[in-house]
Amino acid sequence: MNDTAVPMISVRGLGKSFGGHRVLQGIDLDVRRGEVLTLIGPSGSGKTTVLRCMNFLEAYDEGEVRIRGALLGYRRGPDGRLLPESERIVAEVREPVAMVFQQFNLWPHMTALGNVMAPLTLAKRMPPERAQKLAMAALARVGMADRAGQRPGSLSGGQQQRVGIARALAASPEVLLLDEPTSALDPELVDEVLEVIKSLSRDGMTMVMVTHEMSFAAEVSDRIVFMERGRLVAQGTPDSIVYRPQNERVRAFLQPWVRRSLAGRAEPASINPAP
Amino acid sequence: MNAPTLLERLAGYLPLLAHGAATTLLVSLVAIAAGFVLGAALLGLSRSRARLAAGAAAAYVSFFRGTPLLVQLLMLFYLPSAMGLELPPLAAAMLAMTLNSAAFQCEILRAGLASIPAGQIEAAASFGIARRQVFRHIELPQIARAVWPAVVSEAIDVVKNSAIVSVIAVADLARVGRQLVASTYRPLEVFMAVGVVYLVMTAAIFALGSWLGARMGGGRAGARRIVEQAAGGQP
Amino acid sequence: MNAIDMGVLLGLLPDFGTAALRTLALLAAAVAGGLLIGFIANLARELGPPLFARLYWVYTAVWRGVPFLVHLFIVYFGLPSAGLALSPFQAAALTLAVYSGAYFAEIFRACWRAIPAGQIEAARAAGLSRRQVFAVIQCPQALRAAVPLIANQAILVLKESALASVITYPELTMTAGRIVAVQFTYVEPYLLLALCYWLLAAAIARAGRLLARRTAIDAMVKK
């Protein structure tokens, strides 16, 4: 599964400030083909900002983000400085990356099918018949094919988010970015979305996810990254980060979750303090 | 012969008031329709990257929203004659009301565009959809629903504002009222009849607007929004 | 286009100055009266029997559904035949106060509604009477929220005050018209007229922003 070729996404020395406030500092990260990478950490740790820098929804100030080796958002000037790149080139570079949003961001005046087709017909200029086939396939993949003709207004939150995932999948992306995909959902609707994400990971989809669902993150991820105050503090397998946290700060962060898990469910055997 | 009763007198006013109301509605319709087109053009100009165009649009809107309609009407009627151009009263009235309404409709459209959640635009951009396509396929279709209550409010305001054109001798409802008073010496009942006719017109616009707003998919919420928008409307 | 004669323009300033004061007098009377009427109307609607709510609805619907000019004609030309003859200023101020009162009432109603129901519930549960809730919970927050809306409405009242010229109150618009008729210069008087209103509106907007900032409370409901 590990590719010795160029990583899907490569982040080097990433830095970002909002106004005077430093949000990201010195982030180094690689996302390899087929792996599921999850970013966790407290609010304000910058994990969502890292995600949004990966498809240039936020312009980073320092460092580099490369998608399959190609520099994203900038080009190197003759003196080596970063110069802003044209919109067209940026769109080309980030084409293999698709995003799923916390607030779904569906277009309310279009049907579910319309939402999934729009990026294909508008951005990729695909003929409608072909776009419709791909869109229906994507909707079927997330279990929403029977509601293709309904508008977001008549769908539940979980259904809307699944349409959002279908919309991201329809363009056959190589990497899926998921920004807290279940945070805006009522608790009983969370599972249906997590199931879809799980099945995508089983199919080998490369994913970078920001989430607060710790059990899910531990279950589905190949690698978990813990961030705090704009810096990457620890990374490793689910075992070394969530189940047997070796880093003191990670342990402190997970403490409330551990307490709640122990109170309600039969997972105590997996939660051991580091020796 | 007995003097005519109140009811008979009111019945006598009706044909003249109807004529006046027709003129009022004509002027209002032109102002709203032409004002919409001009307002949309102004919005486009104000979003242009050419600073001169954007600045001119901003100045236009600031002037026509910041000064009384009566002043604008007087300027548009009297200033051309100082330059040797004779503008007929009806034309000056339609022009002034159109230019005035355009400024307000520009702001209504601007607010409508801004009310579309930014996340939708962001999602479209992230999928590589070009700016122009985003406007055509994402923003434009949602604009009608977003601005409808404010448009209904503006239509009501235009009808009410149109009474001002009576000062430059356009034969609208208000002017007909003044003429009737001059011939009947009954100012209280004539002007109250005029008021009732205006009330009927604005109420009809409100009812029609609410009904159309509900049909546009706002449902009850759409109709309710129109009521609330009207609450914030201008005199 | 005729060039603007600065000499003529400067010569107009004294007349326009007095006229502006008259406009401001009318504006002040109308806004003060309108705020009072609007507040009482809203209070009556909030605390009074259901009848008052219906009367409130009739007042705001009828007064806002008829052009201000017609209101003015009814009061200035119509009332004398019923025994009440008012001077142009009195008629304009009274009519504008009652007219803008309907709009202020709706502003107050909107700001009252903007306070989360939960706060009212908590107060009632703690034993406060409806009157106490009105005075102690709703008024302080709603009135602060209303400040920018009131400033905006005051600008609209300013623009409407130009109609007082039609019933011969010598405010800005009538003064400009008089000067034009007497002196046969069109450009300078009308330009100065537009400028005066524009400056007055900007001043009101500024005052409104300052007042809003001074009275704001951070954790308050934002309208």
| pLDDT number for residue C223 | 42
| pLDDT number for residue A130 | 95
B vs C, Cβ pairs < 8 A, gives: 135
CATH code (residue B112): 1.10.3720.10
Burial string for A98-118 (b: 16+ CB within 10 Å, else e) reads bbbbbbbbbbbbbbbbbbbbb
| pLDDT number for residue C4 | 72
Asked if residue C170 is part of any domain, the answer here is yes
| pLDDT number for residue C1 | 45
| Residue span of the structural domain in which B34 resides | 6-230
| pLDDT number for residue A270 | 47
Q: What pLDDT digit, counting tens, does each position of A39-71 carry?
A: 999 988 999 999 999 999 999 999 999 999 999
| pLDDT number for residue B231 | 46
A9 closest CA partner among A89, A65, A76, A74: A65
Please state, rounded to an integer, the average pLDDT across all residues of chain B: 89
User: Which of C159, C168, C192 has the most B C-beta neighbours within 10 Å, making it the best mutation to test the interface with B?
Assistant: C159
**In angstroms, what separates the C-alpha of A256 from chain B's closest C-alpha?**
31
Asked if residue C1 is part of any domain, the answer here is no
Say yes or no to pLDDT of A188 above 60: yes
Name the residue facing A99 among B126, B138, B141 (closest C-beta).
B126
Say yes or no to pLDDT of B235 above 50: no
Q: What pLDDT digit, counting tens, does each position of B177-218 carry?
A: 999 999 999 999 999 999 999 999 999 999 999 999 888 765
Chain C residues within 8 A of B155 when measuring between CB atoms:
none
Say yes or no to pLDDT of A20 above 70: yes
- Average pLDDT of C2-24? 87
Asked if residue B79 is part of any domain, the answer here is yes
- Average pLDDT of A184-189? 92
Interface predicted TM-score (ipTM):
0.90
Say yes or no to pLDDT of A268 above 60: no
| pLDDT number for residue B233 | 44
Q: How far apart are CA A42 and CA A227, in angstroms?
A: 8
Say yes or no to pLDDT of A227 above 50: yes
| pLDDT number for residue B150 | 94
Say yes or no for a CB contact (<8 Å) between A105 and B142. no
- Average pLDDT of A238-265? 85
| pLDDT number for residue A4 | 56
Top pLDDT among A243 and C146 is at: C146
- The pTM score is 0.82
User: Which of A102, A117, A122 has the most B C-beta neighbours within 10 Å, making it the best mutation to test the interface with B?
Assistant: A122
Kindly tell me the sign of the dihedral angle through the C-alpha atoms of C176, C180, C183, C189.
Answer: positive
Residues 64-123 of B with CB under 8 A from C: 66-72, 74-75, 78-79, 81-83
- Please count the CA atoms within 13 angstroms of the CA of C193 that sit on its side-chain side: 26
User: Which of B71, B181, B205 has the most C C-beta neighbours within 10 Å, making it the best mutation to test the interface with C?
Assistant: B71
First-to-last alpha carbon distance for chain B, in angstroms, is 45
Q: What pLDDT digit, counting tens, does each position of C173-208 carry?
A: 999 999 988 887 888 899 999 999 999 999 999 999
Q: How many domains does chain B have?
A: 1
Residue A151 phi, psi dihedral angles, 5° rounding: -90, 155
Q: What pLDDT digit, counting tens, does each position of C128-140 carry?
A: 899 999 999 899 9
Backbone torsion region of residue C198, taken as left when φ is above 0, otherwise alpha when ψ lies between -120 and 50, otherwise beta: alpha
Please state, rounded to an integer, the average pLDDT across all residues of chain C: 92
The DSSP symbol for A119 reads I
Say yes or no to pLDDT of A269 above 70: no
Asked if residue B132 is part of any domain, the answer here is yes
A14 close to A26: Cβ distance less than 8 angstroms:
yes
How much of chain C exceeds pLDDT 70, in percent?
96
Say yes or no for a CB contact (<8 Å) between A107 and B120. yes
| pLDDT number for residue A79 | 80
Say yes or no to pLDDT of B224 above 70: no
CATH code (residue C69): 1.10.3720.10
- Average pLDDT of C91-109? 97
Confidence of residue B86 (pLDDT cuts 50, 70, 90): confident
**In angstroms, what separates the C-alpha of C135 from chain B's closest C-alpha?**
23
| pLDDT number for residue C155 | 96
Q: How many domains does chain C have?
A: 1
Nearest residue of chain B to residue C191 (CA atoms) = B75
C142 closest CA partner among C166, C193, C107: C107
Q: How far apart are CA A177 and CA A39, in angstroms?
A: 11
Confidence of residue B219 (pLDDT cuts 50, 70, 90): very low
Chain B residues within 8 A of C202 when measuring between CB atoms:
66
- The answer to whether B210 contacts chain C (CB < 8 Å) is no
**In angstroms, what separates the C-alpha of B128 from chain C's closest C-alpha?**
36
Confidence of residue A264 (pLDDT cuts 50, 70, 90): low
Asked if residue B235 is part of any domain, the answer here is no
| Residue span of the structural domain in which C157 resides | 6-220
Say yes or no for a CB contact (<8 Å) between A109 and B125. no
Asked if residue C160 is part of any domain, the answer here is yes
Chain C residues within 8 A of B230 when measuring between CB atoms:
64
- Average pLDDT of A181-191? 93
A186 close to A136: Cβ distance less than 8 angstroms:
no
| pLDDT number for residue A175 | 95
How much of chain A exceeds pLDDT 90, in percent?
72
One-letter-per-residue 3-state SS of chain B: CCCCCHHHHHHHHHHHHHHHHHHHHHHHHHHHHHHHHHHHHHHHHHCCCCHHHHHHHHHHHHHHHHCCHHHHHHHHHHHHHHCCCCCCHHHHHHHHHHHHHHHHHHHHHHHHHHCCCHHHHHHHHHCCCCHHHHHHHHHHHHHHHHHHHHHHHHHHHHHHHHHHHHHHCCCCHHHHHHHHHHHHCCHHHHHHHHHHHHHHHHHHHHHHHHHHHHHHHHHHHHHHHHHHHHHCCCC
Say yes or no for a CB contact (<8 Å) between C70 and B79. no
C with B: 3 or more CB pairs under 8 Å? yes
Top pLDDT among C124 and B226 is at: C124
Lowest mean pLDDT among A257-271, B46-60, B159-173, C116-130: A257-271
Confidence of residue B229 (pLDDT cuts 50, 70, 90): low
Confidence of residue C218 (pLDDT cuts 50, 70, 90): low
